[in-house]
Amino acid sequence: MTELTELLPVLDDDMTKCVKCGMCHAHDALYLASLDESLGTRGQLMLLNAAVREGAQVGDLFTEKMFCSLNSYDPQTNCPTGTPVLKILAQVRQHLLKTRGLQGLADMFGERVLAAVSASAAARQRAAVLAKVAAAELPAGNQWTDALRPLSDAGALAPATALELLPEVSPAKGTGRVAYLVGSLTNYAAPEIAQATVKVLNAAGYEVVTPKAQKCPGDLFVTLGDLDTAAALAAHNAAVFAEFDTVVTSCAATGAAVKNGLAGDDSGLSAKVRDVTELLAEGFAPRARLDRKVAYHDDCQLRAGMKVTKEPKALLTAAAGSNFVELAAADSASGAGEGPFSLFFAPLAQKITAKKVERIVESKADVVASGNVAAVLHLNEALERAGASARMKHTVELLAEVC
């Protein structure tokens, strides 16, 4: 059993902002899938309140509930009183990790992750990226390193990373110059998305600089509760990108984590980061039309995390014309979650995902675009397994076909 009362000075003001109105539930995919208050955002905050303010002793189940989160921006963005849930949860996880180690999380790394990994190639791939990044960035002896090591061979990663494939400078005819922050999942598992990003930016007239020295932006470590590593990575990237005015991302989860400063002080990097579609909205013109039915998954990481929703849809509509079809509840969750959620909580993730797959099938789209790389990989496999013909693509991959 662990006491959390010492967190009170750190969390007091942020926690007090929650008035328990329950309006987060309507925007909380995990609550809606489970209808379990203790897994909802308000429930998490009230559990925390009992532990931090009233000294309730917490054990394994509490720890699990603090980690059981999609890390979606939706509940936080729609909170009427502005309770910074993601920041609070990150701090609690850090504290739990420091005081309890991986106690209570062991179960997640045992049977559950193995079950998720054995059932899904997308899960294997994400597990492998997680292990790879952890091995690369964590100091020796860090508790996560050992826990994650068995996952490193779980899934097939791309033969060459995005950072290996992309030139440091990709010139263009226009006058704009931007730096590209790739993100770990793209780098190791989906370098083709990085290549498409550079291609469309070039077509829109931007010279793209992809600094080889960049590292994982740290968002994975925020979800794992390792804020020290996240902060070190944020500081490193801040220095790498210091000379640039605009830093573009194509991974919404990466962009959202940086933009919201979750990883800690990044010396102004958060103010410079923009989603690739924000830049394309100003200079991209399709030269051909997409010849199949296209829909758009309005992922929370991009919509609520980066406040970008009109641009990608406008670009896709321009590229697809009458081939663009609406996806019902386009803003509903994919079940991918940010961080290791879909590995830890596979049954809940699958429940959320199944609903999304159903809606994609109903839309009759051939291809569904999204700006969140995790959602693209996660849903792609779910569609394949469901026997659906539709596939996921990153928005820039579709735009790259017509530029």
User: Which residues in this chain contact other proteins in the complex, by CB under 8 A?
Assistant: 12, 16-17, 19-26, 35-38, 40, 42-43, 46-47, 50, 56, 61-62, 65, 80-82
Q: Alpha-carbon distance 274 to 250, whole Å?
A: 9
Which of 99/143 has CB closer to other proteins?
99
Report the alpha-carbon distance of residue 37 to residue 47 in Å, rounded: 10
CB of 278 to other proteins, least distance (A): 22
